[in-house]
Amino acid sequence: MCSDREKPFSVGPDGLTLHVRLTPKGGRDAIDGIEQLSNGQSVLKARVRAVPEDGKANEALIKLIANHLDCASSSVAIVSGATARIKTLRIKGESDHLMLKLQESLAP
């Protein structure tokens, strides 16, 4: 289990806030684990096949996260970093369920 400092997410009353480092044109759609940035922040590493044009990579990221967390794409939103590699996502839903699904997707 990750310590709070190592978690790329925080739990809110109606879902999760998730920090992601996205690699577009990554060859496949996948979650590659957790990475700690030079500033100490932990992020979920994700890659998508889509190109970073016209929001295609962001759409692919939303679908990837929704599939891994077993929730609707409409419950996943990019709240900051839409044009940056580091993004903050807000996932609406039952926090405990989302946290469990996220931890399952990160298990070796």
Q: Which structural domain range is residue 68 located in?
A: 4-98
User: Is 72 part of any domain?
Assistant: yes
Q: pLDDT 10s digit of each residue in the chain, 108 long? A: 444 457 899 998 899 999 999 999 999 999 999 999 999 999 999 999 999 999 999 999 999 999 999 999 999 999 999 999 999 999 999 988 898 888 887 777
User: Is 19 part of any domain?
Assistant: yes
User: Is 108 part of any domain?
Assistant: no
For tokens 């405990």, name the residue: 96
User: Is 103 part of any domain?
Assistant: no
Specify the number of domains making up the chain.
1
User: Is 49 part of any domain?
Assistant: yes
Q: How far apart are CA 75 and CA 106, in angstroms?
A: 20
Output the pTM of the full model: 0.91
How does DSSP classify residue 40? S
How many contiguous H segments (helices) and E segments (strands) does the chain have?
2, 6
User: Is 104 part of any domain?
Assistant: no
User: Is 53 part of any domain?
Assistant: yes
User: Is 107 part of any domain?
Assistant: no
pLDDT of 5 reads 52
pLDDT of 74 reads 97
For position 35, which CATH number holds? 3.30.1200.10
